[in-house]
């Protein structure tokens, strides 16, 4: 059985929340990751990108690896992670796009004309692949490629509901989707104090796997895929809950978090989370 290798592509795009206070213009971007795990013949891709252009780059990058793409695993139902399924499947007709049943349902919802019009088309007019193709529900908690096992780890409510990570025991590698962030402000506009505690427990669940490599769904491209990002993600959530309780206004919470995390990219995400927390 040929050994597995992996490679990560980073795709940079504008953040979704753009009405933040001035002062952090140089950090107003976010990066999604796509991870290719492959042996000498075949490959599994984990997550895709947002726009038609970004996903064309992803297709070209996968093609450049010269493997047969067998699976596209989608970690959760957010559009910026699954909108590339359409182009990937057109380029690699033999590939099966899969997700947990709940994540597949959420993806179908995010890709509906109503949701696109109310959210994604406003942020990226004319750039979302249409019509989006949702992943199909995976039956069971793992899949295999040439004798290598890929385990689905259900992580519950993290930055949205019904999220998951993909654990590759051969490589002691976990692709976290949005359970872990690496140098990027976390998306908290769908969270509550209590759901952020659930998210913290999800980081513990992945840390308990004792991974050697942890690939976040959003990262600063030059940052290493270090397992410490699980603890960092958890600390950020603990800090947010503590400072939310200690502040009264959106601006106070935002500034208090920025004092602790001045260098993370995509401060608009923090602004959106602070607005939700104080609403």
Residues at the interface with Zn ion (CB under 5 A): 78, 178, 217
Nearer to Zn ion, 70 or 185 (CB): 185
Q: Minimum CB separation from Zn ion for residue 47, in Å?
A: 8
The closest of 151, 152, 160, 193 to 179, measured between CA atoms, is 160
Rounded CA gap, 223 and 236, in Å?
17
Residue nearest to Zn ion (CB): 178
Q: Which of 24/78 has CB closer to Zn ion?
A: 78
User: For Zn ion, which is the closer residue by CB, 132 or 217?
Assistant: 217
Among 39, 16, 14, residue whose Cα is nearest residue 29: 14
Comparison of 78 and 148: residue with beta carbon closer to Zn ion: 78
User: Smallest gap, in angstroms, from Cβ of residue 203 to Zn ion?
Assistant: 15
Query: Are 24 and 49 contacting, i.e. CB atoms less than 8 angstroms apart?
Result: no
Q: Which residues pair with 164 in a beta bridge?
A: 154
Q: Which is nearer to Zn ion, 39 or 178 (CB)?
A: 178
- If the CB atoms of residues 39 and 162 are measured against Zn ion, the closer one turns out to be 162
CA-wise closest residue to 1 among 170, 244, 222, 237: 170
In angstroms, the CA 264 to CA 27 distance is 7
Residues in the chain, total: 279
Least CB distance from residue 87 to Zn ion, whole Å? Answer: 18
* CA 87 to each of CA 105, 106, 169: distance values in angstroms, whole numbers, following the listed order: 20, 19, 29
**68-73 and 96-99 as β-strands: parallel, antiparallel, unpaired?**
parallel
- Please say which residue, 75 or 241, places its beta carbon nearer to Zn ion: 75
What's the CA gap between 37 and 146, in Å, rounded? 12
Token pair, residue 170, equals 């051969």
**Least distance in angstroms from the C-beta of 78 to Zn ion:** 5
Q: How far is CA 69 from the centre of its chain?
A: 20
CB of 171 to Zn ion, least distance (A): 22
Cβ 173 to Zn ion shortest distance, Å: 19
Minimum CB–partner distance for residue 159 and Zn ion (Å) = 6
CA distance readout (Å), 264 to 31, 127, 229 = 12, 26, 13
């Amino acid at each position: 059985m040929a050994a597995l290798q992996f490679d990560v592509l980073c795709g940079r795009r504008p953040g979704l929340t753009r009405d933040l206070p001035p002062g952090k213009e140089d950090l107003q971007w976010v990066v999604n990751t796509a991870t290719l795990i492959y042996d000498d013949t075949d490959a599994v891709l984990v997550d895709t990108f947002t726009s038609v252009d970004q996903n064309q780059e992803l297709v070209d990058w996968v093609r450049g690896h010269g493997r047969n793409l067998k699976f596209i695993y989608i970690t959760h139902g957010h559009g910026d992670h699954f909108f590339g399924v359409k182009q990937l499947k057109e380029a690699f007709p033999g590939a099966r796009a899969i997700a947990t049943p709940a994540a597949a349902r959420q993806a179908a919802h995010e890709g509906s004309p109503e949701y696109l019009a109310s959210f994604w088309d406003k942020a990226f007019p004319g750039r979302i692949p249409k019509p989006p193709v949702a992943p199909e529900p995976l039956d069971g908690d793992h899949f295999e490629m040439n004798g290598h096992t890929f385990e689905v780890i259900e992580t519950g409510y993290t930055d949205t509901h019904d999220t998951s990570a993909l654990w590759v025991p051969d490589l002691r590698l976990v692709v976290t989707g949005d359970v872990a962030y690496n140098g990027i402000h976390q998306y908290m506009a769908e969270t509550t104090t209590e759901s952020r505690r659930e998210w913290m427990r999800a980081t513990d669940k992945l840390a308990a796997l004792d991974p050697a490599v942890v690939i976040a769904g959003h990262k600063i491209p030059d940052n290493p895929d270090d397992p410490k990002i699980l603890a960092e993600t958890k600390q950020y959530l603990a800090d947010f809950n503590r400072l939310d309780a200690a502040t009264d206004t959106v601006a106070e919470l935002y500034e208090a978090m920025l004092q602790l995390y001045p260098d993370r990219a995509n401060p608009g995400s923090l602004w959106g989370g602070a607005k939700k927390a104080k609403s």
